[in-house]
Amino acid sequence: MAKMIVNVEVNGELQELLTEPHRTLLDLLRDNLSLTGTKEGCGSGDCGACTVLIDGRPVNSCLVLAPEAEGRRVTTVEGLAEDNKLHPVQTAFIEEGGLQCGICTPGMLISAVALLRSNTEPSEQSIRYAISGNLCRCTGYDKIVRAIEVASKRMKANAAIASH
Amino acid sequence: MTTTELPRTVTEAPADKVTHVVIGQRVAKIEGVDKVTGKALYGADTSRPGMLWGKMLPSPHAHAIITSIDLSAARALPGVFAVITGADLPGIVARISETDLTPEEFDTPSRGKQILAWKKVVFFGQPVVAVAAVTPAIAEEALALIKVVYEPLPVVVDPEAAMRPDAPLVQNAVFTETFSGKATTPSNIAKVTELSRGNVDEAIANAEVTVSGTFRTAMVHQGYIEPQACLAEYSADGRFTIWTSTQGQFGVRGGLSGFLKIPPRRIRVTASEIGGGFGAKGAMTLEPICTLLAYSAGRPVKMQLTRSEVLRATRPAPDAVMHVTLGARTDGTLLGARAAFIWDVGAYPGGGSVGGINCGFGPYIVPAYSYDGYDVLTNRPSTGAYRAPNGPQGAFAVESALDMLARKLGISPITLRLRNAVREGDRNPSDVPYPRIGFRETLEAIENHPVWASPKATSSRPGWLRGRGVACGLWGGGVGTSMAHVNIGEDGSAVIVTGAVDLAGTRTTMAQIAAEELQIPFERVNIVQPDTDTAPFNNPTGGSRLTYSLGTAVYRAAIDARTKLKQRASQQFRCPADEVDYRDGEFWVRSDPSIRLTIGQVARSAAGSGDGPVVGTGEVTHLLRAPAFATQLVEVEVDPETGAVQVVNVVAAQDVGRAINPTACEGQIQGGVVQGIGWALTEGYVYDEQGRLRNPGLLDYRMPTALDAPNIECVLVEVPAIDGPYGVRGVGEVPIVPTPAAVANAVFDACAGRVTSLPLCGEPVIVAMSDSRTGVDRSQMVMFNLGPIPTGNSSAPESPGEEPKLATEVEDYCAEDDVAEPEIE
């Protein structure tokens, strides 16, 4: 099959990637860029392990064809920490026991970051709703929900300090 | 036999909790940063130069003879490097091992041998052909070019139907195994397990009250989010290197060694980070075929299962049909119990047997009991371990029956269980005495919990009914060989080296144990899990054995390191070692505490001395099992119109022995409870009459999401185990055991419908409510008279054409009840 070039910004870097058109954004990230932090759990959009941000919105990258990523801005789990400093959501997941095996964690973190960008004070129910597309089989979700609550409080406090 | 006679392996008494600094702390996960930044490498995340991709062709039939396979077009496709069928297996293994191998070796009903279908397919989705090609797309194209001609055979997917003498035979060479021998004619009944104590008939006949019921659970999947993935490479020096997502890298090395008939030294296995196992990755899945493809292609090969392959063709947990009768006095004292469990173990033997009854009857003193267990073959994938294997099924039956008994007697379900709860010295159904256990303490924790003490709330949803249920569970505890090294660094740090796989948090608890015993800060301890060539031996991780067994090895290794450090310090102090004291990272001579050496100084000087750097070693081969008990209180809301059920609240009390890390313990409990909720409410394999799985995806195989999961409060009960360090017990298995029964008991409390089959959401609830109103009892099991199993010693084999009839004991069960016509006619 003829290959094509896809231009996409991944974690702040412009990439020019050669791919067959039937491959997915998930394949591009994992195979072309070796960004294996984004996981494949089902390949059909049911588990959320492959969740990335596309132009700031959480999307199952296994359901996005590579050419559809043309001109888009993609953020993966590898792009959450800045200057070797963890994102508050990442820190909270570690501290609150919000991960066990860790396979759902990248997608879970992306969904949490997307939520907290649009809702700085989410209720427990809205947190559960925001991550309901991300299956976790280890934690029973409880500590993930707590971690996102802790992160939202910290981010709010940090924002308050920054605005002073 | 009293427990004082039981051998103890770790002689150091559980230390006073107060003296512990790191044990019991909620320290953060040691590998957390790698996991939140995407750096942790899982099964599919490793690649090699020149790597190919492997794919397998699944069978479209559940049962069919393979008449012919045409591979010519697939082999001719550019980019295809290897194509393997079942018939090729003996030849390839013979070339690898340079041994004479007869095809008959593969002509055996073993899933581990028949990694590709052998002459016939026995379940839907069974791999028939494997290919390796330069891209996944070309590998799939090659599969599409393969022409297999099948001759379909009659299919049996229902275990009760599979027990009939005229049922289609799933395997031609499986003969019923019993305690007295093996049958002489092939049968779908792979194994019969009979256990008993006392005179159960008399006990039940003398009982003042009896309850009985038949309970069914569906085949369910472990549901790990990471599909199995493996990368294999062959080198011209005859060595294989395997990267794989497994619960035991030494298990894979041993398994491959046996399969390939080569010594373990030719195999090097690296366990990747594992994205969930729950028992399923304790057995090999992709490793043998991936290895053969790599050898045949002469290139590294990576394979990753798709989700539909995971669901169709790995090893789910067996479904079960379970009949239970309990006889008791009016005060609730159990007199006798009878159980007959049918385990649908799928298309190959293995996976059923006694686990279910040890978990089911195990928590209670049952003076007389009998258990008949049947492992039955069907045209479904062969089954395997799933968190507390077979415990949730057995507990669903027994704990539901206990709930029925409590209601019949009008006593509290907790009172009933406390009246019959086992204590230290009582024997389990396999006649093993319990050492110190904390079962009653978990029951009391629930009885004294504010949720149990408060009146039942009404549902906030209009028309919905609220109910509350209790159930208990047991896991006997896992043991096995573990080894660890503790390397002391010249900065006074420690690195634990182990070959065990951490499924979800044991690296952190191991580091806590080493920090505690070395008396250094937790932050100064690291832990690595290198490959099988580098790391000390460990049995696979499973059965909640790791914190207990590896914890013992790490504990011993840390103490060994501390002893050696003291020895080295004494050389520097020029005094006998027993005059050296150590505390919190510093050594001194007892007579002159003013001169001190830090652990780092001692380690640095040791590194340059004749004795070399300090490495502590610890190993354990067998500990006394440390049984773990749990009691759970579940609150549900039921929609009587639709049968929808929402679990709204769970209080989970569990004897953890000693919580090394309470956050990790809670995480295990909460995760197990939510898996149990999925098992109870929505998860289950659905097959059509042709034996095709109708729900091989995560949309239709419905696991709980964050919206389905309730708040789960954990009550950590600490009754120290008598073996192992600090009194710790395994935590991971038991929390799933009580949950399905607790949910069903809560549903009954809400709507007065006794649900006897899982998953229960929807129709089963509606049917149970209707039965309750109309007085219909569907609880009796129809079972076939198996007669004496014809064994090699038996003189008169049963004629195969005999009309099946109800077993006499089942007729007894049914005598007092209004039973529908047997469905066997």
- DSSP β-bridge partners for residue B267: B240
- Looking at the structure, do residues B308 and B320 belong to the same domain, yes or no? no
Contact B365, B426 (CB under 8 A): yes
**Interchain contact, B663 vs A97, CB within 8 Å:** yes
Task: Categorise residue B612: left if φ over 0, alpha if ψ from -120 to 50, beta otherwise.
Answer: left
B184 phi/psi in degrees, rounded to 5: -105, -15
Q: Residues 478-537, chain B: which have Cβ within 8 Å of A?
A: 503-505
Confidence of residue B797 (pLDDT cuts 50, 70, 90): very low
Whole-angstrom CA distances from B759 to B442, B565, B678, B681, B684 are 27, 57, 8, 5, 6
Q: Name which of A35, A43, A135 is nearest B703 (Cβ-Cβ).
A: A135
Spatial separation of the C-alpha atoms in residues B160 and B163, rounded to whole Å: 5
Residues A129 and A64 in one domain: no
Question: For residue B400, what is the enclosing H or E element?
Answer: helix B391-409
Contact yes or no for A46 and B699 at CB 8 A: yes
Residues of B in contact with A127 (CB under 8 A): 706
How are beta strands B368-377 and B334-346 bridged, if at all? parallel
Q: Are B501 and B468 in a shared domain? A: no
Q: Are residues B601 and B667 in the same domain?
A: no
Half-sphere exposure of B717 (CA within 13 A, CB side): 25
My answer on whether A71 and A117 are in the same domain is: no
What digits encode the pLDDT tens for the residues B642-695? 999 999 999 999 999 999 999 999 999 999 999 999 999 999 999 999 999 999
What's the angle, vertex CA B147, arms to CA B104 and CA B113, rounded to 5?
A: 25
Over 70: is that where the pLDDT of B784 sits?
Answer: no
What's the rounded mean pLDDT across residues B128-138?
97
- On chain A, the residues whose CB falls within 8 A of the CB of B227 are 40-41
Q: Which percentage of chain B shows pLDDT scores above 70?
A: 92
- Report yes or no: A80 at the B interface, CB cutoff 8 Å: yes
Burial of A1 (0-12, 13-18, 19+ CB in 10 A): exposed
Instruction: Please check whether residue B715 lies inside any domain of the structure.
Output: yes
Q: Does A32 touch chain B (CB under 8 A)?
A: no
> What is the per-residue pLDDT for B75?
98
Q: Which residues pair with A164 in a beta bridge?
A: none
Share of chain A above pLDDT 70, in %: 99
Domain C-terminal end among A79, A108, A124? A79
Q: Which residues of B441-471 are buried (b: 16+ CB within 10 A; e: fewer)?
A: bbbbbbbebeeeeeeeeebeeeebbbbbbbb
pLDDT tops 50 at residue B27: yes
Whether B165 is in a domain gets the answer: no
Q: Is B273 part of a structural domain of the chain?
A: yes
The pLDDT score that the predictor gives to residue A163 is 81
pLDDT in tens, B249-262: 999 999 999 999 99
Give the pLDDT of residue B104.
Answer: 87
* Residue contact B304–A40, C-beta within 8 A: yes
The residues that bridge with B55 in the sheet, in sequence order, are B131
Whether residues B141 and B267 fall in one domain = yes
Q: Does B49 touch chain A (CB under 8 A)?
A: no
Determine the 3-state secondary structure of B482 from DSSP.
strand
The edge-to-edge listing of strands for the beta sheet with B494-498 is B525-528, B494-498, B482-488, B615-620
Contact B398, B338 (CB under 8 A): no
Mean of pLDDT over chain B: 91
Instruction: Kindly identify which residue of chain B lies nearest to residue A105, measuring between CA atoms.
Output: B36
Alpha carbons B325 and A155: distance in angstroms, whole number: 57
Residues B109 and B241 grouped into a single domain: yes
Q: Residue B235 and residue B299: Cα distance in Å, rounded?
A: 9
In terms of domains, do B469 and B484 share one?
no
- What are B327's two structure tokens? 């006889």
Q: Are residues B403 and B286 in the same domain?
A: no
Residues A67 and A93 occupy one common structural domain:
no
CATH number of domain containing A93: 1.10.150.120
Number of domains comprising chain B? 3
* B815: in domain: no
pLDDT at B321 > cutoff 50: yes
The verdict on A17 and A42 lying in the same domain is yes
Domain that holds residue B358: 196-204+213-220+316-477+625-774
Q: Is A97 left (phi over 0), alpha (psi -120 to 50) or beta?
A: left
Catalytic residue among B31, B177, B517, B733: B733
Per-residue pLDDT at B792: 43
B585 and B517 in one domain?
A: yes
Contact B233, B294 (CB under 8 A): yes
∠ CA B823-B824-B825, nearest 5°, is 100
Quick check: B228 and B281 in contact, CB under 8 A? yes
Distance from chain centroid for Cα B26: 26
Reading across the β-sheet that carries B645-655, which strands appear in turn?
B465-475, B628-638, B645-655, B711-717
Least confident of A31-45, B540-554, B737-751: B540-554
Least confident segment among B288-302, B496-510, B595-609 = B595-609
The CATH number of whichever domain residue A45 belongs to comes to 3.10.20.30
Distance from C-alpha of A49 to C-alpha of A72, rounded to nearest angstrom: 20
* CA-wise closest residue to B567 among B611, B523, B515: B611
- Residue B455: DSSP 8-state: P
For residue B599, the surrounding DSSP H or E stretch is helix B599-608
Q: Are A80 and A90 in contact (CB under 8 A)?
A: yes
Query: How far is Cα B156 from Cα B234, in angstroms, rounded to an integer?
Result: 40
* Closest residue on chain B to A101 (Cα): B504
Q: Which of B36, B508, B682 to mutate to test the interface with A (most CBs of A within 10 A)?
A: B36
CA dist B577 → A23, B517, B574, B651 (Å): 66, 18, 9, 51
CB within 8 Å of B591: residues ≥ 6 apart: B579
For residue B290, give the amino acid letter: C
- Could you say which residues from 680 to 719 on chain B have a Cβ atom under 8 Å away from some Cβ of chain A? 697-699, 703, 705-707, 709, 711-712
Chain B positions in Cβ-Cβ contact with residue A18 (cut-off 8 Å):
none
- Distances from the Cα of B784 to the Cαs of A31, B201, B824, in angstroms? 55, 20, 8
Distance from CA of A67 to the nearest CA of B (A): 17
Whether a cis peptide bond, with omega within 30° of 0, leads into B759 is yes
pLDDT of res. B586:
96
Residue of chain B whose Cα is closest to the Cα of A47: B698
Q: Exposed/middle/buried for B815, CB within 10 Å: 0-12, 13-18, 19+?
A: exposed
Q: In this complex, which of B274, B675, B698 lies closest to A47 when CB atoms are compared? A: B698
What percent of chain B has a predicted confidence (pLDDT) above 90? Answer: 85
- B8-22, B80-94, B400-414, B627-641: segment of lowest average pLDDT: B8-22
A65 shares its domain with A24: yes
Q: Residue B693 gets which letter from DSSP? A: B
Kind and range of the H or E run holding B416: helix B413-420
**Where is B260: in which H helix or E strand?**
helix B249-260
Q: Is residue B536 pLDDT above 90, yes or no?
A: yes
- Check whether residue B391 and residue B515 sit in a common domain: no
Whether A11 and A72 share a structural domain = yes
Are A74 and A103 found together in one domain?
no
Do residue A102 and residue A65 come from a single domain? no
Short-list B803, B752, B726, CA closest to B25: B726
- Band (B564; pLDDT cuts 50, 70, 90): very high
For residue A21, which residues of chain B lie inside 8 Å, CB to CB? none
CATH of the domain at B679: 3.30.365.10
Distance (Å) from the C-alpha of residue B399 to the closest C-alpha of chain A?
A: 23
How far apart, in whole angstroms, are the C-alpha atoms of residue A70 and residue B230? 32
- Gyration radius (Cα) of chain B, Å: 28
Does the ipTM exceed 0.95? yes
8 A C-beta contact, residue B592 and residue B580: no
Q: Are B454 and B717 in contact (CB under 8 A)?
A: no
Q: Using one digit for the tens of pLDDT, what is the confidence trace for B139-181?
A: 999 999 999 999 999 999 999 999 999 999 999 999 999 988 9
Cβ-Cβ contacts under 8 Å between A and B: the total is 175
| Assigned domain for B377 exists | yes
Domain boundary among A49, A79, A109: A79
**Structure token pair of residue B665:** 């313990």
Is residue B766 in some structural domain? yes
Map residue B647 onto helix, strand or coil: strand
Out of A79, A102, A120, a domain closes at A79
- Token pair 């095709």 in the structure block, residue: B692
B232-241, B415-424, B601-610, B738-747 — which is least confidently predicted?
A: B601-610
DSSP-assigned letters across all residues of chain A: ---EEEEEEETTEEEEEEE-TTSBHHHIIIIIS--TTS--S-SSSSS-TTEEEETTEEEEGGGSBGGGGTT-EEE-GGGTSBTTB--HHHHHHHHHT--SS-SSHHHHHHHHHHHHHH-SS--HHHHHHHTTTS--SSS-SHHHHHHHHHHHHHHHHHHHHHH-
- Judge if A23 and A70 occupy the same domain: yes
With CB atoms and an 8 Å threshold, state whether B38 touches A138. no
Respond yes or no: is residue B208 known to be catalytic: no
CB contact under 8 A, B706 and A20: no
Which domain CATH number covers B249?
Answer: 3.90.1170.50
Q: Report the relative pairing of strands A51-54 and A57-60 from DSSP bridges.
A: antiparallel
Indicate the pTM of the whole model.
0.93
Same domain, A70 and A99: no
B781 in any annotated domain: no
Q: How far apart are CA B503 and CA B509, in angstroms?
A: 12
Kindly give the pairing relationship between strand B628-638 and strand B645-655: antiparallel
**Same domain flag for B110 and B19:** no
Q: What's the pLDDT at B357?
A: 85
A-chain CB neighbours of B646 within 8 Å are: none
The pLDDT of residue B780: 61
CB B212 within 8 A of CB B779: yes
3-state secondary structure of B374: strand
Contact B225 A86 (CB under 8 A): no
Measured between alpha carbons, how far is residue B565 from residues B517, B559, B574, B587, B593 in Å? Answer: 13, 10, 14, 9, 17
pLDDT of residue A121: 96
Is there a single domain that holds both residue A65 and residue A94?
no
In angstroms, the separation between the Cα of residue A159 and the nearest Cα of chain B is: 23
Q: Which residues pair with B630 in a beta bridge?
A: B473, B654
- Tens of pLDDT along B707-755? 999 999 999 999 999 998 999 999 999 999 999 999 999 999 999 999 9
Conformation bin of residue B651: beta by default, left when phi > 0, alpha when psi is -120 to 50:
beta
Cβ-based neighbour number of residue A72 at 10 Å: 17
Predicted confidence at residue B823, as pLDDT, reads 28
Residues of chain A contacting residue B709, judged by C-beta atoms under 8 Å apart = 128, 140-142
Are B274 and B399 within one domain?
A: no
User: What angle (nearest 5°) sits at the alpha carbon of residue B28, between those of residues B24 and B33?
Assistant: 160
Tokens of B120: 């016939």
The pLDDT value given to residue A89 = 98
Question: Would you say residue B278 lies in a domain?
Answer: yes
Domain coverage including residue A140: 88-163
Residues A142 and A92 in one domain: yes
Could you give the maximum distance between any two Cα atoms of chain A, in Å? 57
Helix B287-297 to helix B249-260 angle (10° resolution) is 60
Whether residues B752 and B678 fall in one domain: yes
Counted domains in chain A: 2
